[in-house]
Structure 1
Amino acid sequence: MKYKGIIFDLDGTLVNSLEDISDAMNNVLTSLNYPIHTYDAYQYFIGSGLRNLVSKALPSSNNSEEQIETCFETMINEYREICTLKTKPYNGIIELLDNLVSQNIKLAVFSNKADELTKKIAAEIFPDYFNNAIGLSTEVLKKPNPFEAVEISKNWNLKPEEIIFVGDSDIDMKTATNANMFPVGVSWGYRTKDELIASGAKLVINNPLELIEIV
């Protein structure tokens, strides 16, 4: 089948945002005199939205809903200020996007990051590639709910089967499967190849340019 569109996850797939996210949350933890975490630890906190990350980062003894909500708001304010400070595209991503654009492949971003921040990062780091950048607006629509992915396919006038869904997590692979899109995992993100395959990846690529062969 010839694929006509690609939906990308953002963090761990298009960009390495680990340090900015970690720094923002660690700033919040430091302000409360709570233990901070390493970048390696945050690698496993990322993927289910920043509110979930806050819950995982807080000490278990200070993890009430009220505390999570308060720290989440503070973390968002911190992260908004630094979200493109250290965040960069992975090697080969810009070359990949240039190639896909030259083939008239439709491109979109669908992330569990807050919608405002998803749009900000996509606009600042990829100003010429994504008209469609959708983040989390309500918990109900969080991946692996396929609703937003299917809406993108409708806006493109494409069948879901004509679209590749690219991501670095089990949640992305489940989203692709739920949307009836072709799930492609990336090995350079925040999860292992085995995790991706176990969650439904039909293919796991080690370099962004490998995606061109699939298209």
Structure 2
Amino acid sequence: MRRFFGARIGTCACLDAEGRPEYRSRMAFHAVLFDLDGTLLDTLADIAVSMNHALQSLGFPAHEVDSYRRRVGWGARVLAEKSLPEDHHDPDTVARCVQLFAEYYSLHPNDHTRPFEGIVQMLAALRTASVPCAVLSNKPHDLTVSVVAQSLEGHPFVAVYGDRSGVPPKPHPGTARDAARQLGHAEDEVLFVGDSDIDMQTAVAAGMEPVGVTWGFRTREVLHDAGARVIIDQPAQLLNLLEKTNGHQ
């Protein structure tokens, strides 16, 4: 077993983007920016139920929960477009679908949502080690703040960002760079941890280190192709990665 600043964790078998078992970097990383859906929280069921409610309210068929893995990550508008029938992508229908989805989801954001296994322990270890953390999601901002407060209570984040009017969403790097300033570190000292191609693209564009996770909504291949420098299979491996790059071995 290894220890990360006093937190006892299992041995890590981190893989880089080429599938190699050892990760090497000349950089030391001192802060972490997390995606939310599919990375910290398993939100898929609540998102699916909410979008299916919107679709059925408009007279369209619902989809299987698991099929939403391919639809989430780009924000509510793209989610609606990917869920509506192809011949009903007119602006009015999409806008109404987004509205119905947002209304229902705002009332049911945590019916089934839970942290992934090992997330609570990982965040506790980061807090103990005084590693500053933030959250960046394409979920609407107010809902992002609410879900984090309810589902990750007791884990203080330096900043929590969702999709805001007039601000480009991920993969635009602007808000990620804002987060780095709030974290108090240069972009290249921040690990951007996410489960999607959107997250990896954001990290690359912002000059951060892209870390993909396989327990979320995308495959290892998608993460690799989107620019992941390292891919991990368990939350504890993030602690080992920080330990390795900061020389605590």
**Structure 2: tracts of 5 or more residues without a match:** 1-26, 243-249
**What is the TM-score of this pair, normalised by structure 1?**
0.97
- 3-state secondary structure, aligned to 1:195: helix
The answer as to 2:239 corresponding to 1:212 is yes
| Structure 2 counterpart of 1:153 | 180
Q: CA deviation at 1:156?
A: 2.6
Alpha-carbon separation, structure 2, partners of 1:181 and 1:73? 34
Q: Distance in 2 between matches of 1:83 and 1:139?
A: 24
Give the root-mean-square deviation of aligned CA atoms: 1.1
Q: Which amino acid aligns with 2:32?
A: I
- Give the 3-state SS of the residue equivalent to 1:68 in structure 2: helix
Give the TM-score normalised by the residue count of structure 2. Answer: 0.84
Give 2:168's aligned residue: 141
Determine what percentage of the aligned residue pairs are the same residue.
Answer: 36
Counterparts of residues 1-215 of structure 1 (less than 5 Å): 1-129=27-155, 130-138=157-165, 140-215=167-242
Larger helix fraction of residues: 1
AA matched with 2:184: N
Gaps of 5+ in 1: none
Q: Give the C-alpha shift of residue 153 in structure 1.
A: 1.1
Distance 1:133 1:11 in 2: 13
What secondary structure does 2:204 align onto? Answer: helix
Structure showing greater Rg:
2
Q: What is the DSSP-based 3-state SS (H/G/I as helix, E as strand, rest coil) of the residue aligned with 1:141?
A: coil
Aligned length: 215
Q: Distance in 1 between matches of 2:166 and 2:77?
A: 10
